[in-house]
Amino acid sequence: MGRTAAILLAAGSGSRMAGAVADKVLAPLAGRPVFAHSAAAFLASGVADLHVVVYRDQRQMLALAACAPTPTLLVRGGRERRDSVQLALEALPADIAHVFIHDCARPLIQPDQLVALLKIVRREHAVVLARRVTDTIKELRPQGSRGNPERLRTLARDRLWAAETPQVFARDLIVQAHARVAARGLPVTDDAQAVELLGHPVAVLANDRPNPKLTTPADLAYVEFLLARERAADRR
């Protein structure tokens, strides 16, 4: 069946934090670094035989190594997220069959979700954690080149999902997908899209728990609140 690796992405610049924290994946959150929450979830789940931590620079690497799950392979990231994933994939040992890809700016992932994702990927070869869209989503469509105003079109909400991470793939599939994206210079916003461009279906594991991505300073306070609420619920 082969082994499973977890690529833990931590090399992002965090520019939208606007200097509120020096490094968002190392910012303190409920008494430990943001990165440590994802690392602990993967370690507790037991889904990964190898963890690949993608870091930005030497200083960050030393801090991440101090709270990384074991066994861990440290890989320096690239200029863009896509480059970082590619470098991590290239560093994988030959016996890796399945790969988790997780943005460590999402610290609320749960061990049971990781176990469920692994079961699905072994059957479907590609799966993402995702949330049903509850807002009404509008698409802005241009109305030609004669000065006509742009028009809004409402999308069918019951068919819309907001993709999150982790996203999990058969190793050969995601390697092929990223190689094609890189060779053709295709713009993709997540790893599942790279697989979709191959024409391969991607399964969905519905997420009914908060799993926000830390993007702005306000997100840190929100995630801190969510963690405090979880601790309070556990004590009851």
Each residue's pLDDT tens digit, 131-186: 999 999 999 877 665 666 678 899 999 999 999 999 999 999 999 999 999 999 99
Bond from prior residue into 212 cis (ω within 30 degrees of 0): no
Is residue 235 very low, low, confident or very high in pLDDT (cuts 50, 70, 90)?
confident
Tens of pLDDT, residues 80-111: 999 999 999 999 999 999 999 999 999 999 99
Q: Which amino acid is at 196?
A: E
**H-state helical runs in 138-216:** 171-184, 191-196
Please determine, for residue 236, whether its predicted confidence score (pLDDT) is greater than 80. no
Per-residue pLDDT, averaged over 115-124, amounts to 98
Q: How far apart are CA 42 and CA 192, in angstroms?
A: 20
Rg of the chain taking only CA atoms, in angstroms: 19
pLDDT given at position 113? 98
CB count within 10 Å of CB 90 equals 10
pLDDT given at position 19? 64
Lowest mean pLDDT among 48-62, 199-213, 219-233: 219-233
Roughly how many angstroms between the first and final C-alpha of the chain, as a whole number?
41
Main-chain phi, psi angles of 168, to 5 degrees = -130, 140
Main-chain phi, psi angles of 73, to 5 degrees = -115, 125
pLDDT given at position 97? 98
pLDDT given at position 231? 82
Per-residue pLDDT, averaged over 216-230, amounts to 92
Higher per-residue pLDDT: 183 or 231: 183
CB count within 10 Å of CB 42 equals 21
Mean model confidence pLDDT for the chain = 93
Per-residue pLDDT, averaged over 194-219, amounts to 95
Per-residue pLDDT, averaged over 42-65, amounts to 97
Contact 42, 51 (CB under 8 A): yes
Q: How far apart are CA 70 and CA 31, in angstroms?
A: 21
pLDDT given at position 147? 60
pLDDT given at position 181? 95
Domain boundaries, the chain: 3-130+163-235
CATH superfamily of 3-130+163-235: Spore Coat Polysaccharide Biosynthesis Protein SpsA; Chain A (3.90.550.10)
Contact 120, 202 (CB under 8 A): no
